[in-house]
Amino acid sequence: MPPPQSAPNQIPSRMIEAPADAQQVLQSPILTVDQDVLFTNSAWGKRTQAILEEEGTKIAADNERLADLLSAEEAELTRLRDSLDAGEFRQRAEAFDTRATEVRRERAQAVQELNAWAEADRTAFYRAALPLMGTIVEERRAVAVLDRRTVFVSLDAIDVTADLIARADEELGDGDGVVPFTPSPTPASDQPMNDGAQPLEN
């Protein structure tokens, strides 16, 4: 059996240290940049990541609290099942199922909204950084900037990631307010229902 081939997005890359006299390399028509490093190591990216971690922790805590609350309601209704007539039990069970479904929908929406904001904020960063990249292209007398991950081998002297990060921090700052972030409200379903619930089916 022939050895498996690497997927196109798994192309290995390597940077070679430039010689001490690298002036000619600095004037290379091709420059490279690591897009992920550019964002994550910038002040803008660090702010975004801090918000993601903080809000992600809050969402996880809310999810755990609401799961415990629903589980307690579920157990209570199960306990009351024998003492309720069939019609009342069915009504309470349906009310709980509706509530549980809504809670799950709200929690999934909170995650989606956070991810959508993060993506929009990242896109705004690259859009704002594009003119800075153009300035570097002009200064280096280059004609193109390639994503470093698409290059098999290159000299480190043509990589402008660190230079771009420094300029972005100086000229763009941390990007606070460019894409306004509105935290999801604290779930309103914190109070248990008076009627419990039957066990939910998966």
- Kindly state whether residue 95 falls inside one of the protein's structural domains: yes
| Structure confidence by residue, pLDDT tens digits, 85-97 | 889 999 999 999 9
Total domain count for the chain?
A: 1
Give the mean pLDDT of the chain: 84
Give the mean pLDDT of 7-24: 54
**Mean pLDDT, residues 189-195 taken together:** 48
Strands (E), the chain: 14-16, 30-33, 144-147, 153-155
Residue 27 pLDDT grade (very low, low, confident, very high; cuts 50, 70, 90): confident
In which domain, by residue range, is 116 found? Answer: 8-171
Q: For residue 200, tell me if it sits in a domain.
A: no
Would residue 154 count as lying in a domain? yes
Query: In the prediction, which pLDDT does 23 show?
Result: 47
According to DSSP, residue 8 is labeled: G
What tokens does 184 get? 């999801």
Compute the Cα dihedral for 195, 198, 199, 202 and give only its sign: negative
Give the residue-averaged pLDDT of 99-118: 94
Distances (CA, A) of 119 to 21, 47, 106, 112, 142: 41, 13, 20, 11, 30
Q: Helix crossing, 86-140 with 161-171: angle to 10°?
A: 110
**pLDDT 10s digits, 128-164:** 999 999 999 999 999 999 999 888 888 888 999 999 9
Say if 185 falls within a structural domain. Answer: no
pLDDT at 24: 45
Residue 131 inside a domain? The answer is: yes
Classify residue 56: in a domain, yes or no. Answer: yes
Nearest residue to 72 (alpha-carbon basis) of 186, 201, 200, 192: 192
